[in-house]
Each structure stands twice: as C-alpha cells, then as structure tokens.
Amino acid sequence: MLEKQEEIRKEFEKDISSIKNSNDLNELKVKYLGKKGIITELTKNMQELSVEERKELGRVSNELKTTLAEEISKLENELKDKELNEKLASEKIDITMPSTKINVGGLHPLTKITDELEELFISMGYDVVSGPEVEIDKYNFEMLNLPKDHPARDAQDSFYITDEELLRTQTSAVQVRSMLKNQEKKPFKIVCPGKTYRRDADDATHSHQFMQMEGLVVGENITLADLKGTLEEMARKMFGQERNVRFRPSFFPFTEPSYEVDVSCMKCGGSGCNVCKGTGWIEILGSGMVHPNVLEGCGFDTNKYTGFAFGVGIERIAMLKYGITDIRDFYTNDLRFLKNYNRVEGGDK
Ligand SMILES: [Zn+2]
C-alpha cells in the first residue's frame, strides 16, 4: 500500500515541476485532490480491508493529501505573484496617449456681458434687481410718462397678452416697481438686466427678444455730470480705457432732458472707419434725467430729489465688443458660434 502512495508522490512531483501557470495548476489540483481525484480513488475500496489496514491507509493518504495540498498552495502563491508582476510590467500607463475629449460648457456671450456690467455697477454701490417679464401696462408705460394715447406706445411694438398685460418692452418697468418699493433708500441706485420683447421682424440688427440693462439713480443733487461720469466708467470698462463718450440731445418720454450716448470708436479710436461709418463715434445707449412726472408718480418729492436713468442693449454691447454682425446669432444656439466666446473659460479647446 505504501508503495502506491510513493508512486503517486513521485508522479505528483513530476507533474508539478512542469507547471507554468495557474490554469495548469488548477488542472493538477483537480487531478490529485478533486472529488474524483487520485487521492479520493486511493481510499475508495477500503471496505475490503481490515480495520487496522483501513486506519493505516487513511492516515497515510491524509498525510499525502496534506503534503500535496501544501505544495500546490505554495506554487499557487508563487504563480499569482509572478503573474501579477508580469501584468504590471505589461500594462504600464502610457502618459503620452491623448486623453478622452471632455466637452465643458461655457457662458453665453450675453451672460458674460451682463456679468461684466453687473460687476462694474455693484462695485459702484448699485443693487442688481429683476422684475417680471410679463408686465402690466401701468408699469411698462403709464408710470413712465407714456399715457395710453402716446404715439411712442404704438401697439405694433408690443406683445399684449390682455388689454392690461404685455411682455415688457423695456426693463424700465423694473425701475417703477423698485422706486415704489424703496422710498426710504437714498440715494437709490439700481441696475436691472433682463429680457425684453418687441414686435420687430427679425433681421441682422433686430430681434423680437433682446436684452437690456436699465440703470437708475435717485437722490439729492444728482446731476447730468453724475450720469456722464457713470457712463464714461461703463464705456471704459467695456471698451477700453481710452474711450470717450459724448451726449447728443434726444427724446424719450421718461427722461428730460434726454440724450443718446456715443462712445469713441473702439476700432479706429476716432479717426473714422467702417465700424463707426467714418464718424469716429458709435451710439451705445439712451439716457437722461428722470422726468419729474415719473418721480412724482413714484412718490418722490421733485423739489428735493432728482435722478438719472439709462438703458443699454446687451446685444449691442456684445456685438461691438466681439465684432458680431448678426443679432440672430445670439439666439440660434449654434455651438460653433458659442464656442468662439469660451476659449478661455474652458470650453472646447
Ligand atoms: Zn471707427
């Protein structure tokens, strides 16, 4: 009987010496220690033996089984280490490989201009306020000195929802709301950026939806000089420190006197070019001293308080600043267009 074990042992040593990988070792394990393996077979026909013989056979077979299991386990660990090392060596990370392209969103050019303007006015002590896009006639027109029969409120220009409600045609409506709410705060300084709507046919320079930012200051001794200084700051922040502004008399129902404001051309510096149509100046906004009717309507004592207001088109600023020639590009959401304005912030590089 012991001879048989010795034979198995020798065969095992021979088999194990030729093992090269984990798969081979698994096969070896099954061959010797499996349910139908050699060791199990060895103790199968024990009923023919005497009790003593059975004990002896059992003991020797168990010893053999333990020995083989130990050797297999030892080799198993060695092979695992070896295979892991081989894997690590073969799977070195190639840091020169190009990475997966990640598309990162960026800010819309109109958002960027709005942010820049807000930042400037906040630094000058203004509050940023917003109001509803569906506005009542009273705030959008009437209290801005545009009574019902006024020619400037031609129904063709507005999207009316009911007789008294419309999509706001100007962010000036927010001024009225804010003035009515903040009687105590003096000087009263706000900017209101937001979307506005007019029944314009869309073309390269007109859009039925566009963005405005309204500015309003009400307080004691507020003069035209304050307005001019403020708008100079804005023009220089948006278009460069060398910019100058000039005021041209104009007419708006809610301001008196009213002015169109021009900025010296950012392309030619004032000598005349195609952008400024040879004049050296570019119109950027409308402004003026708040009309006494508007101040009185909002409850301000016009003997004591004056104010200035201005309204700037965000698209107009963005078009001038970025050299965009078609206002519709802001609203068609063409990524090829939008990506041009996000190279720095982490858009598609
Ligand atoms: Zn020019």
What's the 32 CA to ligand 1 centre distance in angstroms? 94
What's the 280 CA to ligand 1 centre distance in angstroms? 5
Indicate if 156 and 232 belong to the same structural domain.
yes
Indicate if 157 and 203 belong to the same structural domain.
yes
What's the 127 CA to ligand 1 centre distance in angstroms? 34
Indicate if 229 and 142 belong to the same structural domain.
yes
Q: Is the pLDDT of residue 349 over 50?
A: no
Name residue 146's amino acid. Answer: L
Name residue 144's amino acid. Answer: L
The tally of domains found in the chain comes to 2
In a domain, residue 102? The reply is: no
What's the 347 CA to ligand 1 centre distance in angstroms? 31
What's the 314 CA to ligand 1 centre distance in angstroms? 20
Burial 50-89 (b: 16+ CB within 10 A, else e): eeeeeeebeebbeebbeebeeebeebeeebeeeeeeeeee
Q: What is the CATH number of the domain that holds 244?
A: 3.30.930.10
Structure tokens at 229: 């200084």
Indicate if 138 and 66 belong to the same structural domain.
no
Q: Label the pairing between strands 281-290 and 165-167.
A: unpaired
Lowest mean pLDDT among 27-41, 109-123, 278-292, 310-324: 27-41
| Secondary structure (3-state) at 166 | strand
Structure tokens at 23: 């798969």
Confidence band, pLDDT 50/70/90 cuts, at residue 58: confident
Residue 343's pLDDT is 60
Indicate if 119 and 76 belong to the same structural domain.
no
What's the 320 CA to ligand 1 centre distance in angstroms? 11
What's the 7 CA to ligand 1 centre distance in angstroms? 104
Residue 240 and residue 247 in contact, taking contact as beta carbons nearer than 8 Å: no
Q: CA 83, 84, 90: angle at the middle one, nearest 5?
A: 90
What's the 89 CA to ligand 1 centre distance in angstroms? 65
Domain boundaries, position 290: 109-333
Residue 56's pLDDT is 84
In a domain, residue 315? The reply is: yes
What's the 244 CA to ligand 1 centre distance in angstroms? 13
Residue 305's pLDDT is 94
What's the 267 CA to ligand 1 centre distance in angstroms? 5
What's the 215 CA to ligand 1 centre distance in angstroms? 27
Structure tokens at 184: 């105590």
What's the 264 CA to ligand 1 centre distance in angstroms? 8
What's the 321 CA to ligand 1 centre distance in angstroms? 13
What's the 341 CA to ligand 1 centre distance in angstroms? 23
Q: Which whole number is the average pLDDT over 200-221?
A: 92
What's the 323 CA to ligand 1 centre distance in angstroms? 12
Task: Give yes or no for a cis peptide into 193 (omega within 30° of 0).
Answer: no
What's the 16 CA to ligand 1 centre distance in angstroms? 90
What's the 318 CA to ligand 1 centre distance in angstroms? 17
Indicate if 307 and 163 belong to the same structural domain.
yes
What's the 91 CA to ligand 1 centre distance in angstroms? 61
Q: Which whole number is the average pLDDT over 290-294?
A: 95
What's the 205 CA to ligand 1 centre distance in angstroms? 19
Residue 1's pLDDT is 57
Q: Is the pLDDT of residue 337 over 70?
A: yes
Residue 156's pLDDT is 59
What's the 282 CA to ligand 1 centre distance in angstroms? 8
What's the 315 CA to ligand 1 centre distance in angstroms? 19
Which is more confidently placed, 128 or 147? 128
Indicate if 11 and 53 belong to the same structural domain.
yes
Residue 333's pLDDT is 85
User: H-type helices in the chain, by residue range?
Assistant: 2-17, 22-33, 38-42, 51-90, 109-123, 137-140, 172-181, 224-239, 292-297, 314-322, 335-338
What's the 274 CA to ligand 1 centre distance in angstroms? 6
Indicate if 209 and 319 belong to the same structural domain.
yes
pLDDT in tens, 247-258: 999 999 999 999
- Cβ neighbours around 235 below 10 Å, total: 23
Q: Is the pLDDT of residue 202 over 60?
A: yes
- Domain end marker among 90, 125, 152: 90
Which is more confidently placed, 101 or 286? 286
Indicate if 119 and 149 belong to the same structural domain.
yes
In a domain, residue 104? The reply is: no
What's the 336 CA to ligand 1 centre distance in angstroms? 28
Dist CA 261 CA 277 (whole Å)? 16
What's the 236 CA to ligand 1 centre distance in angstroms? 16
Indicate if 203 and 315 belong to the same structural domain.
yes
Indicate if 14 and 153 belong to the same structural domain.
no
Confidence band, pLDDT 50/70/90 cuts, at residue 348: very low
